[in-house]
Structure 1
């Protein structure tokens, strides 16, 4: 495990800034409680690599786009499904958003030095068994303006259906001057090509991070900060840091709807954005359950998942539960059986060190599933205090158990086997786990 070091040594230089940052951290620890302490204090007994369904060396493999190795620093991933008329899944592939230039341009963590290099989208054919035998391919962005920057973050895609051969693909883009959402169209017949439709931007898109589709042309969109690093001078260096470390509830989630005309590049129309949740601390990943009844949002700085009941008619969200996580959660994805798969960062300073390209720095990874429990299972669990058993570092050492939910560790690493886990997906049919990392090379595939 990387030895602890000061967050300030990376982000702040002057003695006054040191004092301010120290005060921020101290107050943040007091305000946010045990969960925040967990991501600032290292865990020395983290394993090199742990997989819940078998030996890490035998069951987990890293998929790369050899020999170029450009598919790295992937922030998000999503299943793109091909469905029949009844909605049954016929096939699926993985789509990934990756940015090898993240160490030179990161509008959330910094630095913001060089935005001219482009990130990319990739697709990975899962295959019959869902293992690591597939080969990733870069997606060509047809018609995307040469003068536009492309630094992809969150993404989501609508399923391919018999009466809708082309799927809308939406991608958050942290471009040079402002953050936007890019709309593409992709076809199952040529999944390595995505036709650009248009760029969505506006005053509502302050700090877009992740999105989750609610229809072919509508989605939930998290804005992770009120204050961003794009602010001029010292404001951009201090206000976002203060908002993050103090866990200030200044951010929000929108529901964005495009008019019928907005699917046509010749008549773009205007997006309509409505705030559906507010007063959130660093809302990051967002996901809609397979049945459409629930929405989950990751609060990164408070180390918890917020569950909401969703009204499909109005897209309104009503709070259901808060489930603490033993790490700072990044992105979230529901599997088809109703479990939420959460990936995140157990040690904040290590992640900042990796982002700053410090020599030999490693950022640990942690992936869990969160599953609602039945009343019978809930009663049985209450009989014993131990849970998440058989794991090198069980979640019960870090956070209290949330009534009504079972949290189970699926993967852990000190960063030497897989670093900075940002998104994980589990195929409920095969049980295969797919993980990408914010500063990791390739895609990790773990097969039971």
Structure 2
């Protein structure tokens, strides 16, 4: 009997050791981060927790999703986030709050992922992931209304979409004025302890879902912490980041039914967060090379978390050419815990999950 107990204990310890080693390896514990960027960067003040942003490139505007996540983690019940507007050509002038300024948002508003859609007629719609204080989740849909008197814009809240399939939405991509895809980061939801167990055991339980304007359905299953989600300019491809699997997947989209078919994937050396698609089709991905260090940064602002920005070439019709290269890397002293990156015409904008700062970088030749 004693011999049997010893054998069982050895097996349990061995399995636990293998699982721990797998988690450490997957989260970048053994990775070495070498800072580098072929260009010049400066930081500018930003709202607290500018985790995601969407750029209106034609008008030079940045819509920033802001939530003070540390106050929420500390137990604040009345914490309310906002959508801010910043000028791309003058970020030093600061960001203007949109939803709280005009009151056009749900009173319980804690925004996360954000997506801007513009139709053929120029009409714009902004969609935002909202984590309500009740533990429920919603996708908020706003009409973007230009203010001809001030030259600014207003957000008019049109609809809140809720559904049991929104277990833990992290990001959203609008593919129409009333339709979207959303990526859940956990299948078991964000409630403790199951959400953390799913993360640290690197379980592929998350799903991406599709809302066609009337009902929600599962678009992709088996995701390992689904995170950023984006679409090609023509809407024919959808891209999804899997953070703890350290890869980005590309899918072909049926424009009629919304169904997604797997096309290809690219493996990365860091955990991808949000995805932005540049005008030339390049995917720009902010990433976390050391995810356990990022988790400590979430608990303690004094702990810096390395940041990385990866550019991925757009895949061809058969999935070829989906290749990644690191463009920016920092130990966390410039931008800590990068969450979103976007680039066009040599300008690179980077935000982070917690700190009230963004990085504005100008690339050197050939970047």
**TM beyond 0.5:** yes
Instruction: Tell me which residue corresponds to 1:121.
Output: 83
Is the deviation greater in 348-357 or in 279-288? 348-357
- Contact persistence 2:308–2:330 (CA under 8 A): yes
Instruction: Report how far residue 364 of structure 1 moved.
Output: 0.6
Equivalence for 1:80: 56
1:324-335 alignment, distance < 5 Å: 324-335=267-278
Choose which of 98, 103, 109 in structure 1 pairs with 2:70: 103
Contact 1:294–1:308 at 8 Å: present in 2 too?
yes
TM-score, structure 2 normalization: 0.85
Task: Report matched runs for 1:131-170 at 5 Å.
Answer: 132=91, 135-141=94-100, 142-144=102-104, 148-159=107-118, 163=121, 165=123, 167-170=124-127
Alpha-carbon contact 1:351-1:363 (below 8 Å) kept: yes
* 1:170 and 1:181 in contact (8 A); partners too: yes
Pairs within 5 Å for 1:150-229: 150-159=109-118, 163=121, 165=123, 167-177=124-134, 178-189=136-147, 191-229=152-190
**C-alpha distance in 1 between matches for 2:207 and 2:109:** 24
Q: What residue in structure 2 maps to residue 399 of structure 1?
A: none
Per the alignment, residue 239 of structure 2 pairs with: 296
Q: Which has the higher contact order (CA 8 A, sep 6+)?
A: 1
Secondary structure in 2 matching 1:292: coil
**Which one of 13, 21, 41 corresponds to residue 30 of structure 2?**
41
Aligned to 2:6: none
CA RMSD, 1 decimal: 2.7
| Aligned equivalent of 1:61 | 42
SS of the equivalent of 1:355 reads helix
1:446 paired to 2:361: yes
Structure 1: gaps (5+ residues): 1-19, 66-70, 82-89, 106-110, 231-235, 259-270, 375-401
Judge conservation of contact 2:142–2:157 (CA < 8 Å) in 1: yes
After TM superposition, give the deviation of residue 40 of structure 1 in Å.
Answer: 2.2
Report the Cα distance in structure 1 between the residues aligned to 2:128 and 2:54, rounded to whole angstroms.
11
The equivalent of 2:265 in structure 1 is 322
* CA distance in structure 2 between the aligned counterparts of 1:25 and 1:121, rounded to whole angstroms: 44
Q: Which secondary structure state, in structure 1, belongs to the residue aligned with residue 199 of structure 2?
A: helix
Distance 1:437 1:199 in 2: 26
Residues of 2 paired with 1:160 and 1:133: CA distance? 30
Output the TM-score relative to the length of structure 1.
0.71
Q: Decide whether the 8 Å contact of 1:24 with 1:245 is kept in 2.
A: no
Aligned to 1:432: 347
Deviation at 1:329, TM superposition (A): 0.6
Unpaired runs of 5+ residues, structure 2, are 1-11
Confirm or deny: 8 A CA contact 2:265 2:322 kept in the other structure: no
The DSSP-based 3-state class of the residue aligned with 1:40 is coil
Q: CA deviation at 1:444?
A: 1.1
> How many angstroms apart in 1 are the aligned matches of 2:17 and 2:249?
23
Would the aligned equivalents of 1:120 and 1:152 in 2 still touch at CA under 8 Å?
yes
SS state at 1:185 partner = strand
| Structure-1 residue corresponding to 2:229 | 286
User: Number of matched residues?
Assistant: 345
User: Which secondary structure state, in structure 1, belongs to the residue aligned with residue 311 of structure 2?
Assistant: strand
Structure 2: how far apart are the matches of 1:330 and 1:222?
A: 11
Deviation of 1:164 after TM superposition, in Å, equals 5.2
How many Å separate the matches in 2 of 1:351 and 1:310?
Answer: 33
Select the structure that is richer in strand: 2
- 3-state SS in 2 of match to 1:313: coil
Distance 1:187 1:42, change over 3 A: same
1:420 to 1:27, Cα distance in 2 relative to 1, 3 A: same
